[in-house]
Structure 1
Amino acid sequence: MSSSTAPARLTVLAGPTAVGKGTVSADVRTRYPQVWLSVSATTRAPRPGEVDGVHYLFVTPEEFDRMVDAGEMLEWAVVHGRNRYGTPRRPVEEKLAAGVPVLLEIDLQGARQVREATQAAGLEALFVFLAPPSFDELVRRLVGRGTEDEEERTRRLETARVELACENEFDVTIVNDDVHRATDELVSVMGVGRSAPVAG
């Protein structure tokens, strides 16, 4: 076989709460099946319509602790002071080794951990910040989602202000003013969707 299976580059997509990371990721999954999306583990309960193993791996706090203790997480964090989220390490490493482009959709804390982990392992990773068109639009999306109570919305907006200030930690910023456009830009910076990779 003449295929040069150089390890693919890992792309990390992060941004403030309610900016639409999940929506963009779902659009990538639908329109660019050649990109593998990591499925995060979480201790929170499923939202309506969420499927275990597709949107998230829903695990008990005890199972999450076991995975962390066993070194099975590439990154993990407590989000909004409540639930824990993490990226199982092995599936990511296997896909990258097979030359499959991998997208991690995670929060800011997780992105920082992945940066440390990839630098320590000598892996190349691209960090993409998904930004809202404006803070007012972010507030509108968060309130319009209707899945959080007033206390949770306040907590998330405070978190979002902090997260927006961290944009300069990322390699690329994409404004999510239109889902398809943002998805196309993301896949473009990942180097996916072109006819064939240029052999180096």
Structure 2
Amino acid sequence: MQAPIARRGLMLVLSSPSGAGKTTLASRLREDEKGIEMSVSHTTRERRKGEKDGRDYHFVDKGAFTSMRDRGAFLEWAVVFDNYYGTTREPVERALAQGRDVLFDVDWQGAAALRTSAPRDVVTVFILPPSAEDLEQRLNVRAEDPPEVVLRRMRGASNEIQHWDEYDYVVVNHDVEQSAAALRAILAAERLRRERLTGLKGFVQGLLAAL
């Protein structure tokens, strides 16, 4: 049996306004697909109930974050709702070189920075809610967010959505199952891009030599 052709991993970037279902879809994709891992960002925001340091985020103070930023440790970083978020460079580059895919849950600023840092490795997907009413309802059922935070997130949603056309793919999240299937299809297609298949040239040369 022919061994799989070696390939370089990719960076699958998901963005959406808060409450559009991005986190749920990211979890589903990791459950359904082998060889993809979640990028764990550093952040200065407070840890929410149920979150674990090193699994959900690396929780650090502002001083530690800015020190890492100033020495170039981040592929991208951004300020969102007065909190700092950043993606460390070394673990992502190691995963890609080993043929593993990395999943990102970032806003439009983070997506733009990643696209600039690694344009050949990045695939971007924007998740849209089915309606503004649905988005507001989802935000209101988040027990951990006080009303003033919900209002601020609704106001921020408009700014986030305005960047939809900067993305490679757009998924309207009417149904979680259909949206998860769409993400799997995107990932499958992007894994087959010729430029990612680092072992393809040798494979073809072997075929030609045997003819």
TM-score, normalised via structure 2 length: 0.84
Larger radius of gyration: 2
Structure 2: distance between partners of 1:78 and 1:44: 10
Q: Tell me the residue number matched to 1:169.
A: 166
Q: Matched residue of 2:125: which SS?
A: strand
Partner of 1:141: 138
**Counterparts of 2:35 and 2:3, CA distance in 1:** 20
The sequence identity of aligned pairs, in percent, is 37
CA distance in 2, matches of 1:34, 1:180: 21
Q: Quote the Cα distance in structure 1 between the aligned partners of 2:53 and 2:174.
A: 29
Q: Quote the offset at 1:2 in angstroms.
A: 5.5
Q: Please, what is the CA RMSD of the aligned residues?
A: 2.2
Q: In 1, Cα distance between the equivalents of 2:142 and 2:20?
A: 11
Which residue of structure 2 aligns with residue 97 of structure 1?
97
Bigger shift: 22-31 or 11-20? 22-31
Please list, as runs of the form range in 1=range in 2, the aligned pairs for 1:142-157 lying within 5 A after superposition.
142-157=139-154
Residue of structure 2 in register with 1:112 after alignment: 112
Alignment TM-score, normalising by the size of structure 1: 0.88
Aligned counterparts of 1:72 and 1:20: Cα–Cα separation in 2? 29
Moved over 6 A (4+): none
2:205 is matched with: none
Instruction: Name the structure 1 match of 2:51.
Output: 50
Contact 1:27 1:180 in 2 (8 A): no
| Residue 30 (structure 2) aligns with | 29
Residue 135 (structure 1) shift? 1.2
Residues paired across the two proteins, number: 194
Distance 2:42 2:11 in 1: 18
Equivalent position to 2:178, from 181, 184, 194: 181
Structure 2, unaligned runs of 5 or more:
201-211
Post-superposition offset of 1:69: 1.0
Structure 1: runs of 5+ lacking an equivalent: none
Cα drift, residue 75 of structure 1:
0.7
